Amino acid sequence: GAGADNDLYINQAIVFIEDAIQYRSINHRVDSKSLWLYRWYYSRTCQWILSLTITVILALAFIEEPSSLTVTSDVRYRLPAWNPPCGLTESIELLCFLVFVIDVSVKSYLIGWKEFWKNKWLIAYILTLIVSLVDWIVSLSFFCKENVRIRRILRPFFLLQNSSMMKKTLKSINSTLPEMASVVLLLAVHLSLFTMFAMLLFARTKDNQQDKEWVVYFRNLPDSLTSLLVLLTTANNPDVMIPAYSKNRAYSIFFILFTVLGNLFLMNLLTAIIYNQFRGYLLKSVQSSLFRRRLGIRAAFEVLSSLKETPASAQQSCVSVGALLQVLQKVEMDSRCKQAIMRSLKMCSCDQLSAAQFQKLFEELDKDAVKQHPPSPEYQSHFMQKMQFAFGHPYFGYLGNVVALANIISICVVLVMDADKQLSERDDFFLGAINCFFILYYLLEMFLKILAMGLKRYLSYPSNRFDGLLTVILLILEIATFAVYGFPHPGWRPEFMGLLSLWDMVRLVNMLIVFRFLRIIPNMKFMALVVTTLLDLVKNLRAFAGILLVVFYAFAITGIMLFKGAVQTCFVFNFLIQTPFSIKKVVVLYFKGKKVISWCSAHFQAEVIYCFLYVLSVHLIYRWAKIYFVAWWLLSSVIWINLFVALLLENFIHKWDRRCQRESLSDIEYQRTVELMFRDVLEEPTEDELMEKLHQHPHLQLCR
């Protein structure tokens, strides 16, 4: 009947608006039952359970058999890691798989059979689940003693498929691959041509004294390739050319040419290419999000305009305010936005809304909450007003910064003076007294500020919250110290008492004071710019970090499987984490493997990198160890670092341009959303584009 139809339309409108809010695609089933399922699936609880499941299955690696996660990494002291009995992790895994099976079925059902076959991610999801389950069965039938566990390498896929941001980023990286491949090919050509040159140049001669270069670095093709590949990371930079150079200085031309072309030019070309490809990336992704939002709103408008109560005679389709109010009450959204929309709906005198008015109402969603600081209290007394003026003035804040700086400097001076003193000679009186004085000042500053601004206004500034919290913690620590050790006096150096020694307490207080000094950041324009860029970057980098995590996990599990028995899990993890930051050291040790062996067997303890490399060098006979190593270097050091630089350039240059434009605004605005950053360059989708997309909807049949 008409009532049931109306209910359906209302429900559809609710879901479409929620889709718009969450930037979701609207291409899903729209019958009543599916809509219920859809809202249930995207409810906070369900999504939370799904995220938890993904976290759990990924975290299993930390307690599964070859894990060695302990507090200390020193093998002499640490206890053997706890090995779960066979069946424990497997049953957790089975539970996770069940959740995933439900997830994939609901998802497939909701997008419909036809769309399912077009969606490669869903098919891959199902295949991954099947392979994992088969592997799980094999594992159990061997009583967990099997060697290869494919399902572990497949695990990060579950993380990947659950994030639309990561899928989008992956697509974007994918489109950069041809150019990256070109540069990598160029590098390979560069490397091979120079290898041939080197082999011809540094050939064996009759004089054994003269062909040192040949013996050490260019004995055969793999050696030569390796020498030059390592030279590309500059790890063996002066060493590799020294024997030839000492024969004739002119040989250095070969190495300089190779380094300049390969390292300075081709490697940086990769940065240029990746940056060039990602220049529009952020804008494009924000643009497509905007399109999804507008589409969802428009779809809601279209279904609401089909409601029976609407006068059919109207030439333009329109929506009654009543229906919209009904929908709004049921939509789950930010309460501030909802109130703002309700308010403007009530202010609007008309009874019917056109499509443009409807869109305009929901533009509230794009706006950031305008931070309104509560007003300062108004004092009657003249004295209090003067106080308020004095302590509400920015100069009072600057004075606080100067005092904090003085505190830092005093701590620094004491540290320098005490540096070489024995513990028994040390006297904590001076530092204790000074800190006591400074903390009193901080407390006073806080109270005066609260007096001037009122508590609410004081707390509405993040810098004040940071400040106040640290001051309170410092106060508590000071009181605890005095309670246990008494007031500072010369020779204030009592023995260990309570939870922490006095020295530890003082150190903790000092660390907090240094940390508190960071409050100066918003006062320095350039620093504030850098910090906001950093925060933006972290936000935009989440998807990249996720993909890195996926690749890292797969590599780590592969490494653990490859070097099984000989090496502990943590070694592999450490190795993978260290590579991008200390590639040279890793490379140097890797290729001096044989020397490391003896060193390792003597010092086998905390120096995880070296000992992992010892294992690697044992495995050097296998080609795949080398391939594994080079692949990880390419991915982590070369490609990921360049991606990071490209994103940083993109973010920073955009910010910088904006800063120059709005130099007039005196205080720095923290841009909370990427959408806002691009607002002035975004293009609104046209009505035709929206309607065309709506008519392509696989499940929604629009009347007109």
Distance (Å, rounded) from C-alpha 588 to C-alpha 585?
Answer: 5
Structure tokens at 362: 């929901």
**CB-wise, 17 or 414, nearer to its own copies?**
414
Total residues interacting with its own copies, rule: CB under 8 A: 88
36, 327 Cβ separation under 8 angstroms: no
668, 532 Cβ separation under 8 angstroms: yes
Is residue 182 a contact residue for its own copies (CB under 8 A)? yes
Q: Indicate which single residue of 517, 535, 634, 635 sits in contact with its own copies (rule: CB under 8 A).
A: 517
Is residue 175 a contact residue for its own copies (CB under 8 A)? no
Site for its own copies in 212-231 (CB under 8 A): 219-221
Site for its own copies in 46-75 (CB under 8 A): 70-74
Angle, CA 491 vertex, CA 485 and CA 495 arms, to 5° = 45
**CB-wise, 333 or 534, nearer to its own copies?**
534
Is residue 416 a contact residue for its own copies (CB under 8 A)? yes
Q: Which residue has 């076959």 as its token pair?
A: 117
Is residue 549 a contact residue for its own copies (CB under 8 A)? no
**CB-wise, 260 or 356, nearer to its own copies?**
260
Site for its own copies in 588-647 (CB under 8 A): 605-609, 641, 644-645
**352 strand-pairing partners:** 320
Strand locations in 197-344, DSSP E? Answer: 319-320
Site for its own copies in 76-105 (CB under 8 A): none
Stretch of residues binding its own copies (CB under 8 A), selected from 30-38, 273-281, 464-472, 670-678: 273-281
Structure tokens at 34: 């599916």
Is residue 243 a contact residue for its own copies (CB under 8 A)? yes
Distance (Å, rounded) from C-alpha 123 to C-alpha 140?
Answer: 26
Distance (Å, rounded) from C-alpha 244 to C-alpha 257?
Answer: 15
Is residue 514 a contact residue for its own copies (CB under 8 A)? yes
DSSP run (H or E) holding 353: strand 352-353
Stretch of residues binding its own copies (CB under 8 A), selected from 31-39, 390-398, 581-589, 667-675: 581-589
Angle, CA 530 vertex, CA 528 and CA 535 arms, to 5° = 95
Site for its own copies in 294-353 (CB under 8 A): none
Distance (Å, rounded) from C-alpha 557 to C-alpha 135?
Answer: 15
Distances in Å between the alpha carbon of 607 and those of 143, 235, 385? 34, 20, 63
Site for its own copies in 640-699 (CB under 8 A): 641, 644-645, 648-649, 652-653, 656
Q: Indicate which single residue of 408, 484, 528, 561 sits in contact with its own copies (rule: CB under 8 A).
A: 408
Measured from the CB of residue 535, what is the shortest distance to its own copies in angstroms? 11
Site for its own copies in 347-406 (CB under 8 A): none
Helices (H), 112-163: 113-118, 120-141, 150-154, 156-162
Measured from the CB of residue 450, what is the shortest distance to its own copies in angstroms? 28
Measured from the CB of residue 286, what is the shortest distance to its own copies in angstroms? 20
Is residue 497 a contact residue for its own copies (CB under 8 A)? no
Stretch of residues binding its own copies (CB under 8 A), selected from 530-538, 552-560, 590-598, 688-696: 530-538
**Type of residue found at 114:** K
573, 559 Cβ separation under 8 angstroms: no
Measured from the CB of residue 584, what is the shortest distance to its own copies in angstroms? 5
Distance (Å, rounded) from C-alpha 152 to C-alpha 62?
Answer: 12
Residue 155: count of CB within 10 angstroms of its CB = 22
Stretch of residues binding its own copies (CB under 8 A), selected from 147-155, 267-275, 297-305, 619-627: 267-275
Stretch of residues binding its own copies (CB under 8 A), selected from 456-464, 532-540, 559-567, 674-682: 532-540
**CB-wise, 420 or 667, nearer to its own copies?**
420
Is residue 415 a contact residue for its own copies (CB under 8 A)? yes
Burial class, 452, CB count within 10 angstroms (exposed 0-12 / middle 13-18 / buried 19+): buried
Q: Which residue has 């159990």 as its token pair?
A: 140
Measured from the CB of residue 570, what is the shortest distance to its own copies in angstroms? 9
Q: Indicate which single residue of 118, 204, 386, 695 sits in contact with its own copies (rule: CB under 8 A).
A: 204
Measured from the CB of residue 418, what is the shortest distance to its own copies in angstroms? 9
**CB-wise, 115 or 223, nearer to its own copies?**
223
Letters for 422-461 (x = contact with its own copies by CB under 8 A, - = none) are: xx--------------------------------------
Task: Give the up-direction half-sphere exposure of residue 386: CA atoms within 13 A in the CB hemisphere.
Answer: 3
519, 404 Cβ separation under 8 angstroms: yes
